[in-house]
Amino acid sequence: MPQLLACTASGALCYDFYGDKHMHEREALLQRIMDIGELMMRSGAEINRVEDTLRRIGEAYGAHMDVYAIIFSIVITMRYPDGEVITQTRRVGDRDDIDFVRLDQLNALSRRCCAHPMKPDELEQEIRKAVNIRGSLAETIAGNMLGAGSFSVFFGGSLADGIAAALLSLIVVAVQRTMGRLSSNRILFTFAISAVVGIAIGVCCGLLKDLNRAMVMIGDIMLLNPGVTMINAVREMMVGNTISGQLRLIESVSWALAMAAGFMIAMHLV
């Protein structure tokens, strides 16, 4: 079993992974670090946060870390004092799955790991626990209804418009919970869900003449708006991650165009 040693550089505790018999543990450790980085990126973390977190975790285990991340890939090289070098590359999934609850759990796990390094199998268990902690369906429904209704009223809609937007947001939740897990193409999925919600809004406003279709629609549009991705894109370009920032910006603009196209087609159909 690896023994605990004191890291003189950081003052933290790290495991003694020096020796051929611990080679498999080094590789397993790097895989777990890759898992954390991939989950953080899929949860909505910016690139510089991911790189810094993975670097700190590796250094807590006594390795010199070279970390390069871009929106679809992570490359990590761990250099140990005994001369052993291990490199792995991980492709990050295309499907956007922003989840700040999971991101908060991963951030807390990384801090615990830096303060008290864990064995790879223990770290794997902690990662699974962080992934399984998710908001309930009731919380998701309440958040979507509150957001859609509030934005509808905020932009000038009546109380009836806000209530209609809140109720129609249930369609967004239903489609995201069903089709979202089956679709790997975020742009196509955004187009489809926008068209479905737009048609539902058109039918509802056609039956209830007192509703303002524009105000109802804008409330539900805000639920699909890729605002977090666009903010991360600007932030990454400002801190020097130009390539990642530009790719995220192109991606977020593509989602926005798909969303606009879906609602426009729905307006013409209904």
Residue with the two structure tokens 């307006």 = 267
**Boundary of a domain, candidates 132, 161, 194:** 132
Does position 3 have pLDDT exceeding 50, yes or no? no
Do 221 and 121 share a structural domain?
no
| Residue 149 reports pLDDT greater than 60 | yes
166 and 199 assigned to the same domain: yes
Residues found in the chain: 270
**pLDDT at site 14:** 47
For the residues 44-53, what does the mean pLDDT come to? Answer: 89
pLDDT of res. 18? 47
Average pLDDT on 226-234 reads 83
> Are 150 and 239 within one domain?
yes
Shared domain check, 159 and 177: yes
Assess whether pLDDT exceeds 60 at residue 9: no
Is 79 in the same domain as 169?
A: no
Residues spanned by the domain of 263: 137-269
Residues 88 and 208 in one domain: no
pLDDT bucket at 43, cuts 50 / 70 / 90: confident
**Do 144 and 114 lie in a common domain?**
no
Percent of the chain with pLDDT over 70: 88
Identify whether residues 143 and 262 lie together within a single domain: yes
Average pLDDT over residues 221-249: 84
**Residue 110 and residue 149 share a domain:** no
**Do 94 and 205 belong to one domain?**
no
Instruction: Quote the number of domains for the chain.
Output: 2
pLDDT value for 19: 46
Mean pLDDT of the region 126-130: 89
**Same domain? 105 vs 166:** no
Picking from 11-25, 68-82, 188-202, which range would have the lowest pLDDT averaged per residue? 11-25
Same domain, 211 and 235: yes
Is residue 14 within 8 A of residue 63, CB to CB? The reply is no
